[in-house]
Amino acid sequence: MLGQLGGFLAGFAPMLDREWEPVTRTKLACFAIGLGLFLVLLFRSEAGFVFVLDHANLLFHEAGHPIVGLFSARLEPYGGTLGQLVFPCVVAVGCWRTGKTLGLATAIIWFFENWFNIARYMADARAMELPLLGGGDHDWNTIFARWGVLQQDTRIASAVSLVGWIGIVSACAWVVWRAWCDRHRPTTDAPLAWASDTPASDDMLH
């Protein structure tokens, strides 16, 4: 058993040791501008629902229900939330495999922004005041009732929102760290004096 686990980890290790796309000052500045615009939109939008972005997330949410429902009617209420999270994960995996630093960070931010929208839905589990697209059951009312935690809906929602902020801040910190590493990476392109192809001068020969 341990041998099989060791073999799996040994095969997985090269995937972790990859070359990341350098984060130049220009790219870092563009990322910072994009992040600033995102934060402005986040704080000016309705709490837990970012205009445009969460409308797209809502489409993924609705697509998740019938997809999961094909496999299990009982698990269908979870399909909406899974649909919201799977699509950013797919983008993140693609960026990670190709070493796209800013692409991965953006996908992670998108992933954790969804947590605010999910928290908004969770906090409404008892009140059920949010308009539901196409009607139907309230996902988190159903889920929390099954779990026996319906009375804790707002507390759970607050914890989920906190996780969302931690994830976004972590993604931004990782970008800054990658930029710092790229800036302080030792250069190895400068030719060594003894390896130069320039012929030695007469002074050097004598």
Q: What is the pLDDT of residues 119-167, one digit of tens each?
A: 999 999 999 998 877 667 899 999 999 999 999 999 999 999 999 999 9
Task: Please give the pLDDT value at position 135.
Answer: 63
Q: What is the DSSP letter of 195?
A: G
Which DSSP helix (H) or strand (E) runs through 123? helix 101-123
Average per-residue pLDDT for the chain: 84
Task: Look at 74 and 17; give whichever has higher pLDDT.
Answer: 74
Stretch 170-197: mean pLDDT: 73
Q: What is the DSSP string of 93-113?
A: HHHHHHT-HHHHHHHHHHHHH
Stretch 27-37: mean pLDDT: 96
The encoded tokens of residue 106 equal 């953006």
What's the pTM value of the predicted model, to 2 decimals?
A: 0.80
Please give the Cα distance from 158 to 47 (Å, whole number). 12
Q: Where are the domains of the chain?
A: 21-125+146-182
Please give the Cα distance from 135 to 137 (Å, whole number). 7
